[in-house]
Amino acid sequence: MEPTDKPPLRVVQLSDPHLLADRHGSLRRVVVYDQLRASVKLIQRLRPDVVVCTGDIAHDLSRQAYRLFREAIAGLNTPVLAVPGNHDDRAHMATELTTMCRALPSGHVVFRWQSGPWLLIGLDSQIPGEIAGELAAEQLAWLREEAVSFGPHGKLVLFMHHPPGSVASPWMDAVILRNRDLVAKALERTGVVAVFCGHTHFEHRGLVGNVPFYTTPATSFQFDRFQPVVFSREPAVRVIDLYEHDWFTQVWTVSHRERLCLSEEERIELPKAGDPDRGRI
């Protein structure tokens, strides 16, 4: 990475809170609302410029789950952007999370956010009623329009729920993005430099065409890569630092001790980070 005195644009990605209408409700033996609150405590310490949620905000399709999401992130004091996952209700998102996303004429829920040379785009990969996803032609056309209007010197980062390529998991690969070849061609034409996703509940780095993509562990619980069982109940988020010509990304895990100290902020220490990954434009 080239030395620079200019601080990066810091993006923190969270994914898959799987909130329920009941703030005390549990899923896979964790209280998912408390898991998200613990994650928000960490995000506050990381001091992002913007926070992105890549779907599965609600697990039970309830309107109340989105209200609890707003409540949990209220202390961030930074822009928050969101796209739906396979569990989400698009209509509830569009009405309850009005500052975080918007609906296209096709009904897909997306976002657009720009800072300096960086453009962040969120796409809706949901197929209602199904676990797998796809990016409809209307969204890919909108992505091309935004890339053209942004200009040839801008740098575009894409966020969505479903991974656009294999995540080296036989059971998860059956329910990722379906139209991967079409999406790979679209990304090359639009100049996307990286894609960040959720859905898997584990960390992975892959390629879609020549574009790197990353999956981010959940704030709720983590799956085993080789079988659909819970591997860990430690929440995690991803930090993405965007420099002028590079990016740097790593996953941060919220420790058990931090979750126990949720109401005692002065006792919380930053957790250890996962292995960093760098990209260059």
| SS3 label, residue 58 | strand
pLDDT single digits (tens) 123-157: 999 999 999 999 999 999 999 999 998 877 789 99
Q: How far is CA 81 from CA 97, 102, 120, in A?
A: 9, 10, 10
pLDDT single digits (tens) 155-185: 999 999 999 999 999 999 999 999 999 999 9
For residues 73 and 80, is the Cβ–Cβ distance under 8 A? Answer: yes
Stretch 34-59: mean pLDDT, rounded?
Answer: 97
pLDDT over 70 (residue 270)? no
The highest-level CATH class for domain 9-272 is alpha beta
Model pLDDT, residue 11: 98
| SS3 label, residue 189 | helix
Query: Which residues, in sequence order, are CB contacts of 117 under 8 Å at separation 6+?
Result: 153, 154, 155, 244
pLDDT over 50 (residue 281)? no
- Report the range of poorest mean pLDDT among 37-41, 44-48, 256-260: 256-260
Between 245 and 102, the higher pLDDT residue: 102
pLDDT single digits (tens) 60-80: 999 999 999 999 999 899 999
Query: Which residues, in sequence order, are CB contacts of 135 under 8 Å at separation 6+?
Result: 123, 125, 160, 177, 179, 182, 183, 186
- Tell me the torsion sign for CA atoms 260, 265, 267, 268: positive
Domain ranges of the chain: 9-272
For the whole model, what pTM was predicted? 0.91
| SS3 label, residue 27 | strand
Model pLDDT, residue 267: 36
